[in-house]
Structure 1
Amino acid sequence: MPHDVDLIILLAVGFGLALIFGYIAARLRLPPLIGYLIAGVLISPNTPGVVGDIHLANQLAELGVMFLMFGVGMHFSLNDLMQVRRIALPGAIIQIAVATVLGIGVTMLWGWSFGSALVFGLSLSCASTVVLLKALGDRGVLDSVNGKIAVGWLLVEDLVMVLVLVLLPATAVLLGGEALTNGPDSSSNIWLTLGITLLKVAGFIAFMLIIGKRLVPMIIQFVARLGSRELFTLTVVAAAVSIAYGSYAIFGVSMALGAFFAGMVVKESDFSHRAEEETLPLREIFSILFFVSVGMLFDPSILIQQPGHIMAVVAIIMIGKTIAAMALVLFFRYPLNTALTVGASLAQIGEFSFILATLGVSLKLLSLDAQNLILAGALISITLNSFVFAAIEPLQKWIRERSYLARLLERKSDPLAMLPDEVSQDYLRDQIVMVGYGETGRRIVETLQANHVKVVIAEENREIVENLREKGVAAVSGSATEPSVLIQAHIMHARALVLSGCDALEIHQIVNIAKQLNPLLEIILTADSTEQARLLREENIGPVFFAKEEMAKNMSEHILEQMQRAHHLTH
């Protein structure tokens, strides 16, 4: 067969098998990327049948990495991270350290060098953002407090891994590897090389934050005014690829870091949502190629040759990381459900592990066997991750039935779980109890307080509760599905209960508890969708408000008032 059709063969067979096995994975309620990895395994040189060109696959994988990192940059929200920084920042860093130490400890017992053990441990420490977002989205908890903590935790992990990708080539020689041929000069002083690398990174970041942050959105806005959809898409893609390459060619930093910052500066544009929508198909196509190419690197024979090693790797990923994360969440006095959700979120590894493993092999810090162990750990942990999430509810129920265990884990002596002594008994009569302090809840509370209405807030996010208490607002930390939280909010003497940002299951649990404690209580609900508003109204729990309905109503009233005013002026 002619050599010049290798790319077509790779794309045709790779996409075809990715579609088949991705579909099978989705039908089995597994992440489709499992299917993409299996497709890569089937066309790899390590398995019989059609063999794809591994060199072409590696180049396409580079593009896949760039678009993956571009997507991470576009989804990176400093505001989301700041909301949960007090748990996500120290939690993620300590958890990465624990997982890395576990990886180092096990591999040093196997006789590996420290450099190899370090890269291997780091590869096992970072979970897949793609897998997490899908798992949380499928369960409808992406926008919940638990979801925000898990996503914030992974954002910190992603940032740490970006830093590792930048520093690893500069420290490869020190760790016993080899410098990249186009990387830092291995003959120079290693600390000087590291210092120059950090200066280059700092220079690139400064350039992107000072110039790129203004220039890229300005270019996107200029092109958007032309009204050409294909030019707009081309502009965004050109920004991603050119910034990634420019960061590598001019500043000597990784293309992955360049693509990450390209995503961040594109997000600053007024057209960021459109940019995300227009480039999504292209980003997903190259992401699929990335996972297929990663699968092509995997040698399935390792499953038979080193089953003990694979079991140890899976144990670190699914048991060591999970227990460490849960212990940290409980230490920060968050509820058991939050600890279980974060623990399940981290019980897998994904794209950053692959990127780091590939870099480790190119730097001669990791062997191909080590890379295969990481790939095997990823395949197994991602496959089992949905079962780990499914076990959250039964496990939580089992622990709660053993109250001594629940008390031990949840540390009921939490000061934020009780209202401060400064809140007088007079204040706790005829008050409004507000469950949830999101955007809608905050606006309601501000309006009520401006009109001297007494409000007590029940909120799961501890940082929000701490901030409210600093401002002298009566707030209690915890899930309102727990009777103790509503009791602390003195629901027995409340005038009304307002539920904001709760899902259907939570609403029914909270209303049942509240009505038992105060049968005359008025319930006021906010809905997140038309369907939820319809169902809640059918159940006749209380008045239901839906944001889009209220906006349409207010706009209609405004238009009618303007028309009436104009009519009076003309007559």
Structure 2
Amino acid sequence: MEEAALFQSFFLIFSGAAIVASLALFGRQPLLVAYIALGIALGPSGFAVIDNVELLAEISSIGIIFLLFLLGLDMQPQALLSVMRKATFVGLISSAIFLGLGYGIGRLFGFTSIECWVIGMALMFSSTIIGIKLLPTTVLHHKHLGELMVGLLLFQDFVAITCLMILLGGGAETLSPMQIGLSFAALPLLVLIAWVVVKFLLLPLFTRFDRFHEYVFLLAVGWCMGLAETAEILGLSREIGAFIAGITLATSRISQYIALSLKPLRDFFLILFFFSLGAQFKLSVLPEIALAAVVTAVAVLIIKPVVFRYLLGRQSERKVLAWDIGFRLGQISEFSLLIAFLAASQELIGSAASHLIQATAILTFLVSSYIVVLNFPNPIAIKDHLRRD
């Protein structure tokens, strides 16, 4: 019976996701919003068709591990040096401003100090989906705008990883400096283990058997899961272990093949992740956080473009370019949802704070995507003069 119920849940999730994703694409909406909406509709707060939400959430957490593994695979040393040169100043100052903005809004609506800091963390990041997917391919790869966008988003990825380490090193009631310190102390040991294994075991195996694609796929998944579990044993987290597993393979010639082969598997679990987020969204909490979510979303949509415009202007960027980047980055991120999920699972924030972040993410995704689609060059523009592939 349990197997039948699980299969029925998968049938409803993926068949439903195929339908809502099609509608979202026709309506020019971000797909993850469609998955979250489907979760709300089918979960306990909606039609209650699927009730084993905790099991699905546990399964979907594997998607986060693969997401961070692939993120590590894309962290090329050359790209890191480029980020340090182009995006560090803007990234640091903007992150500090948005962290303070989130903290202030949290205080305004009576959240605890830790919840305010987590809300601030969630506001620091911008969506890769809207920032990159709505950028014309020629601009992304060949123009200064594309370089700046990628640099800023990559810098935010590093900040996000740091935030995840802080959250995953915290306790149930408070963020313990000792636990955080132990987590950071264990990090060099994990990096050393990963480097030794990659250099003396994995790379020789990949070199010798790279023509066997099934084996390469299996070895990559095993390495990701193995280092993730090692990180858990060392007191870090599986997510951090997966990220280090990816970054230690990033310079190998086979890294891009691994990234391409694992993306469908990652997407499978991420659909479950966003669905489970929606399914766990309690509509009964909405009246409690509705005003706070609207205020936070409006603040993000207005202040983020202005901050990026000002900071990029100080970097001698043209006004038009600075506004373009500001509006493209004028929302919060998929990482914000991950931060809300992890902070809630660590019992660092309550249900209201978690739902505030989720609601803000959905609102800013929707409004920001419309702003970009209607006003800036993008692949799915309604106006012909703005449509760029």
Q: Partner residue of 2:222?
A: 238
> Aligned letter for 1:124?
L
Match of 1:385 among 368, 378, 386: 368
For the Cα contact (< 8 Å) 2:224–2:245, is it kept in 1? yes
Partner SS state of residue 45, structure 1: coil
Q: How does 1:85-104 map to 2 (within 5 A)?
A: 85-104=84-103
1:9, 1:222 → 2: CA distance? 42
| Alignment RMSD (CA, Å) | 2.5
- Partners of 1:348 and 1:385 within 8 A in 2: yes
Q: Which SS does the other structure have where 2:62 is aligned?
A: helix
- Kept after mapping to 2: 8 A contact 1:220/1:236: no
Measure the CA separation in 2 of the matches of 1:92 and 1:65: 24
Residue 30 of structure 2 corresponds to 31
- Cα distance in structure 1, aligned partners of 2:91 and 2:49: 42
Question: What does residue 272 of structure 1 align with?
Answer: 255
Match of 1:362 among 345, 352, 357: 345
Q: Which residue of the partner structure matches residue 315 of structure 1?
A: 298
Deviation at 1:171, TM superposition (A): 4.2
Map residues 422-461 of structure 1 onto 2, 5 A cutoff: none
The alpha-carbon deviation at position 37 of structure 1 amounts to: 1.4
Q: Which residue of 2 aligns with 1:408?
A: none
Aligned to 1:21: 20
Q: Equivalent residues in 2 for 1:35-114 (5 A)? A: 35-114=34-113
Which structure has more relative contact order (CA 8 Å, sep 6+)? It is: 2
1:197-250 CA-to-partner distances (Å, cap 9, x unmatched) read 2110122223334543554333322331xx33322221222222222222212x
Q: Which amino acid in 2 is paired with 1:380?
A: L
Q: Evaluate the alpha carbon distance shift between residue 223 and residue 145 of structure 1 in structure 2; reply closer, same or farther with a 3 A threshold.
A: same
Distance across 1 between alignment mates of 2:162 and 2:115 = 18
Identify if the C-alpha distance between structure 1 residues 356 and 306 changes in structure 2 by more than 3 Å, giving closer, same or farther: closer
By percentage of residues, which structure has more helix?
Answer: 2
1:150 counterpart residue number: 149
Provide the rounded CA distance (Å) in 1 between the counterparts of 2:225 and 2:294: 39
CA distance change for structure 1 residues 149 and 91 in 2, over 3 Å: closer, same or farther? same
For 1:115, the equivalent position in structure 2 comes to 114
For the 8 Å contact 1:221–1:269, the answer to whether it is kept is: no
CA shift for structure 1 position 73: 1.5
Deviations 1:456-510 (A, max 9, x none): xxxxxxxxxxxxxxxxxxxxxxxxxxxxxxxxxxxxxxxxxxxxxxxxx9xxxxx
2:381 alignment counterpart: none
Q: In the superposition, relative to structure 1, how do residues 152 and 52 fare at CA in structure 2: closer, same or farther (>3 Å)?
A: farther
Partner of 1:217: 203
- Give, in whole Å, the separation in 2 of the partners of 1:393 and 1:26: 18
1:50-89 CA-to-partner distances (Å, cap 9, x unmatched) read: 1241111111221010111122112223323423433411
Structure-2-length-normalised TM-score: 0.89
Q: Is 1:333 matched up with 2:333?
A: no
Equivalent in the alignment of 2:185: 199
Which runs of 5 or more structure 2 residues have no equivalent in the other structure? 378-385
Report SS of the residue matched to 1:11: helix
**Per-residue CA distance 1:317-366 (angstroms, 9 max, x = gap):** 22222221221111111112331232123222232112211221123221
Point out the structure with the larger strand share: 1
**Cross-structure match for 1:168:** 167
Number of residues paired by the alignment?
Answer: 379
The structural deviation recorded for 1:100 is 1.1
Residue by residue over 1:354-405, the C-alpha shift from the partner in whole angstroms, topping out at 9 and shown as x without a partner, is: 22112211232211111111111111111222222235549xxxxxxxxxxx
Structure 2 CA distance for partners of 1:372 and 1:104, relative to 1, 3 Å: same
Evaluate the alpha carbon distance shift between residue 214 and residue 133 of structure 1 in structure 2; reply closer, same or farther with a 3 A threshold.
farther
- 2:232 maps to amino acid: Y
What's the TM-score once normalised by structure 1's chain length? Answer: 0.62
2:213 maps to which residue?
229
Question: Could you say if the C-alpha distance between residues 349 and 60 of structure 1 is closer, same or farther in structure 2, counting changes exceeding 3 Å?
Answer: farther
Unaligned runs of 5+ in 1: 180-189, 395-504, 506-531, 533-571
What is the distance in 1 between the residues matched to 2:76 and 2:148? Answer: 13
Aligned residue for 1:47, secondary structure, equals: coil
1:366–1:48 CA distance, 2 compared to 1 (3 A): same
When residues 193 and 284 of structure 1 are mapped into structure 2, their CA distance, relative to the original with a 3 A threshold, is closer
The 2-side partners of 1:40 and 1:48 are apart by 10
Name the CA distance, whole Å, in 2 between partners of 1:341 and 1:217.
Answer: 42
Instruction: Say whether the 8 Å CA contact 1:216–1:265 is kept in structure 2.
Output: no
| CA distance, structure 1, for counterparts of residue 202 and residue 324 of structure 2 | 37
Question: Residue 36 of structure 1 contacts residue 291 of structure 1 at CA under 8 Å; is this kept in 2?
Answer: yes
What is the distance in 1 between the residues matched to 2:187 and 2:22?
41
Please say if 1:11 is aligned against 2:20: no
Q: Larger Cα Rg: Structure 1 or Structure 2?
A: 1
Q: How far apart, in 1, do the equivalents of 2:242 and 2:324 lie?
A: 30
> d(CA) in 2 for partners of 1:85 and 1:374?
29
C-alpha distance in 2, partners of 1:389/1:198? 39
Amino acid aligned to 1:334 = E
Counterpart contact for 2:198–2:249, Cα < 8 Å: no
Preserved contact between residue 46 and residue 298 of structure 1 (Cα < 8 Å): yes
